[in-house]
Structure 1
């Protein structure tokens, strides 16, 4: 679990908030030819293979569990409504057995239930005795975030751990002495009136990294029949003479224009880098800046191709080598997302990887959202994220989930967790292009 991991490695953490600029080691696109579009079963099998490796279960069991993850969402949405007055959290547990755990306030027991999902019976276990509802913890963050930030030399990250029902305060290691004998935890708990846990990290995230990417191969205008703009691809831009790389998220439309989204902290004017040719050149489309939304709960911008004959596809690359693309079939709201969900992302720096959601209600440390971030970001466990993944699509199968914003890293450069903006918060008037 993320918080356990944080406590175990606190002395070796290096936190970098934004995953924007990429230095040379960018995953190359496939050499020539269009990516193969996956069928839903292909996408499921690819993610299930990652799941099987992560949890050490047979492939067929992983397939059932991945199906169950998506199929069980309506049931857990209904449970949230049924127990809304007692709801403290929900999490998917994978070991020793696959099950859904619901955390409730109060002491009245609830009989264990189950749901048929993905061709398997998924147990639903209820744990009672939580000290505060999820809404109460979120309200405490909203009300006291400024006071908590002002009370510490380094503004901490804040979140709701739905496994335990605690308000998690992620403080910089430089402030660790403030919690000697639990003093900081007790003070914040008394202030907020909800259970609090202090997790120590090395230092809070910083804004856009200033790494300059290596020179790219010669870019040539893309021929009309060469393909289409997709998610999960490389975009580059220049700010103050330095070149940055980010990742496209998903293709969007406002009903009149089609465009592509990435993170708002990426350069405004971008070029979309397509397939690579045998002579070392790459096709490229200039992308004009439409707008950006980067305050509080958003980190997203829209760009559109300037050439009139460029096409768009409701697809995103779904493998490291960019040989596979997935159609966007649907999307999932953040309220339906659960701690423990197994999700994937395809970043331009790191390629394709999958991991478990740690927190659904997370406010990154520092001032990465034009000031304090709201607790609307979704944190996903590492170990794979690096600068250059900003804007990358986060997905489950063919379900779009969000866009990567930033990450936290250990001193050795490995990723502790990354966080993404849910597709709930796409700019008003723009929707996902889907099949």
Structure 2
């Protein structure tokens, strides 16, 4: 099974220069910005328009620093992500108990906390290796799989199925057996359409 790691944000296609100044609202750039801000506020209604604009700007500026963090902790990295509550910050999840102090990253649009959380059981690579090793078992045990979503920081594999809630309920005993084999928590997400490519990626989207 093939897996992909998506960029941390769909705003990555925008350059930081896009946010250097507020564009004319009637321009193509301005209209695009309005769509992005509206989408962000819809997902995070507690955030003001001004804060949403700033957060989106910061997201374009922290992509490379996040890649640098990924390289720095390559041997321990469980997951790295942008979190939005209580503020927008970078969460770095690491395997093992050896502590690492938190940091603050400063970019053109503001400061971003880097929260480093240790104590996880698997690295990202180890997590996905477990899933790939048991791919055939998963497909043979769970009917109508349409995709997967991995959450290494939670030791959780979410399996997307075409079946409904009743189908998912019937598979509870099967899931418990699979959890013992894989050593991971497994949950089902029913009523998911079949993907063109049956791949799983970090973060919850189905390709």
Q: TM-score, with normalisation over the residues of structure 1?
A: 0.37
SS at match of 1:129: strand
Whether 2:58 is the aligned partner of 1:68: answer: yes
1:177 to 164, 170, 178: 170
1:154 to partner: Cα distance: 3.1
1:62 to partner: Cα distance: 1.0
Give the superposed CA RMSD: 2.6
Answer with 1 or 2: which has the greater Rg.
1
Q: Which runs of 4+ in 1 moved over 6 A?
A: none
> Structure 1 residues 91 and 376 mapped into 2: Cα distance closer, same or farther (>3 Å)?
closer
1:96 to partner: Cα distance: 2.0
In 1, the alpha carbon distance for the partners of 2:42 and 2:137 equals: 43
Q: Deviations over 1:238-281 (max 9, x none)?
A: xxxxxxxxxxxxxxxxxxxxxxxxxxxxxxxxxxxxxxxxxxxx
Report how many residues are paired: 178
In 2, the alpha carbon distance for the partners of 1:53 and 1:155 equals: 30
Q: Which structure features the higher share of strand residues?
A: 1
Whether 2:31 is the aligned partner of 1:38: answer: no
Q: TM-score, with normalisation over the residues of structure 2?
A: 0.73
1:103 to partner: Cα distance: 1.2
> Structure 1 residues 120 and 72 mapped into 2: Cα distance closer, same or farther (>3 Å)?
same
Q: Which runs of 5+ in 2 are unaligned?
A: 1-25
SS at match of 1:158: strand
**Which of structures 1 and 2 has the larger relative contact order (alpha carbons within 8 angstroms, sep 6+)?**
1
Residues 99 and 125, structure 1, Cα contact 8 Å, conserved in 2: yes
In 2, the alpha carbon distance for the partners of 1:156 and 1:144 equals: 16
1:201 to 182, 190, 196: 190
> Structure 1 residues 60 and 44 mapped into 2: Cα distance closer, same or farther (>3 Å)?
same
Q: Which structure features the higher share of helix residues?
A: 2
Whether 2:206 is the aligned partner of 1:374: answer: no
